[in-house]
Amino acid sequence: MSVVNDIEPVTFFFEDDGLVPNNPLPLLFYRGAVEIATDHPEKTIEGLFGANGWGAMWRNGVYDYLHYHATVHEALGVARGRARVRFGGNSGKELEIMAGDVAILPAGTGHQCAFASPDFCVVGAYPPGPPMQITRPTPDNHAKALKTIPQVKLPKTDPVRGADGPLARLWKQS
């Protein structure tokens, strides 16, 4: 696997905005975490996530509408291209993400693609647990999410750096 082993993620905290609950845990963002100079970068990221216990994978982009997942944490590994994604809802932060980057979103973190290159491809993955559900920001969904998000268990591993990765340390400190 082509992982930059000593890389530390940058953390971003997002407040509940009344429609997107976000999470007291920070979004973790690894810039250039995966060396993907291969003919099959999707397989490289899938192999990394799978080796670190994250499954239920998919390949696609990031939806262009605001949404979140209230029952599960999510890892997004960029295999190809680049995009601007707003994390944290309408009052969140737009990040330029590109091939090799990985974002780890705690349950409830809003996200929406504002722009993507034609070749943009993401591998998504989830730790063991309930299936992913797409949730749109509405008052009713927000009220339900406030009940489900605290029940989502912390992952046992970091999808990039495994059992000894910074996810457990950073999410326990928060």
Res. 16: pLDDT tops 80: yes
Given pLDDT bands bounded at 50, 70 and 90, which one contains residue 6?
A: confident
Which of the pair, 123 or 169, is modelled with greater confidence? 123
Given pLDDT bands bounded at 50, 70 and 90, which one contains residue 172?
A: confident
Q: What is the pLDDT of residue 37?
A: 79
pLDDT tens string 32-44: 999 887 789 999 9
pLDDT tens string 85-95: 999 999 999 99
* Percentage of residues in the chain having pLDDT higher than 90: 87
Q: What is the pLDDT of residue 3?
A: 65
**Average pLDDT score, the chain:** 94
Q: What is the pLDDT of residue 173?
A: 59
How far is Cα 9 from Cα 101, in angstroms, rounded to an integer? Answer: 10
pLDDT tens string 105-144: 999 999 999 999 999 999 999 999 999 999 999 999 999 9
Given pLDDT bands bounded at 50, 70 and 90, which one contains residue 5?
A: low
Task: Write the single-letter amino acid at 107.
Answer: A
Label residues 55-90 b or e (16+ Cβ within 10 Å = b).
ebbeeebbeeebbbbbbbbbbbbbbbbebebbbbbe
Res. 174: pLDDT tops 70: no
